Amino acid sequence: MNGILNILKPTGMTSHDVVSRVRRIANMKKVGHTGTLDPNAAGVLPICLGKATKIAELILNKEKTYIAELTLGIQTDTYDSFGEIIQKKDPSHINEEDIYAAFKKFEGEITQVPPIYSAIKVNGKRLYELARSGQTDVEIKSRKVIVKDIKIKNIDKEKVLFEVTVTKGTYIRSLCKDIGDELGVGAYMSFLLRTKSGNFDIQDTYTLEEIEQASEESKLQDCIVGIDYPLTNYERIDVKQSAYKAFSNGNTIYQKGLIINRKYYDEQLVKVYIDDKFCAIGKIKIEDDNILLKSHKLFI
C-alpha cells in the first residue's frame, strides 16, 4: 500500500507509538509520521505508508492549525500541565483588554525559544533527555517562526481558549508561556488539539480503532488518500506514454514527450502524471523557451 492515512492521534500516545500501531495494523515496515505531536496533545497526524514516506518532509513543512488553551498565573517546567509547577502568581488583576493586547503582540514573525522538554537535538541528545538527567542549563537557540493567525475564542477567568495557525517548528507550549510572561503572571498550556496539518483536516481523520476495523474487513485502502493529495500547491504536468520508460529511468524528458497545458517556470517543482496516474515530483527546466522535465522524486 502506498498513500497517507489521516489519523486522529489520541492523548497519551507519542507520534512514534501511533506509527508502531499503524505498522502492525497495515502489516508493513515502511511507515512514518509527518511531524511529532506532543503525547498530551490530540489531533491530526498524517501517517505515510510505503512510497508516500518520500514526501513526509513536504507535509512536515506545511502550516498547522491548533485549538489551544492557556492557563494564566502558573508556570511549569514543561510549559504544559504535565510538568512541575515552578511559579505561581495571582492573575486576578488581568482583564480581557490586557489579554487581547498581549495576544496581538504575537502575530506575524516572532522569536521563540523551544521548551527544554522537547525533541530537539543538542550535541546529539534530545533536549528532554538532557532535562530528565538534570541538565537544565543547556543553551537553547531561539528561532524565527510565523504566527499566521491567532484568535481568542473564549476567556473564562484565568483560562484563555484560542485558535492559532503557525509555520513549521512553532511550539504552542512556548507561545503560551511567552504570552503569560508578557502579561507578567506566567502561563502554561492546559489543552492542545491539532485541527489541521496542511490540507489534512480533523473532520476527515480516522481513529486507530477505525483503522483496525477497516483492516480486519479488508477495507483499509478505502481510508488511504493518494500520495499527491497534499501537493495542492504544485502545478501538474503530464508525460506522454511514449516517454514513460525514459522518465522512469531518470532521463530528462523534452517538450515533445510532454503534454503542455499551462505556463511553467525554470526550477519549478511539479507533480507528474502518466495516463492520469501520479508517478513523481518533477523539476522543470527552461532552455531556449523549451520545457524540459527531470524527475525529482519517483513514485513508480
Does residue 40 sit in the same domain as residue 87? no
pLDDT class for 9, splitting at 50, 70, 90?
very high
For 131-153, what is the mean pLDDT?
78
For 92-99, what is the mean pLDDT?
96
pLDDT surpassing 70 at residue 280: yes
Does residue 105 sit in the same domain as residue 191? yes
Q: Supply the range of the domain harboring residue 258.
A: 235-298
Q: What angle do CA 179, 180, 182 make, to 5 degrees?
A: 65
Per residue in 103-122, pLDDT tens? 999 999 999 987 766 556 65
Q: What is the mean pLDDT of the chain?
A: 90
Is residue 80 included in any domain, yes or no?
Answer: yes
Q: Is 95 exposed, middle or buried (0-12, 13-18, 19+ CB in 10 A)?
A: exposed
254 DSSP assignment: P
pLDDT (0 to 100) of residue 35: 77
CA distance 51 to 272: 15
Annotated catalytic residues are 38
Q: How many domains does the chain have?
A: 3
Is residue 245 included in any domain, yes or no?
Answer: yes
Does residue 48 sit in the same domain as residue 149? no
For 267-279, what is the mean pLDDT?
94
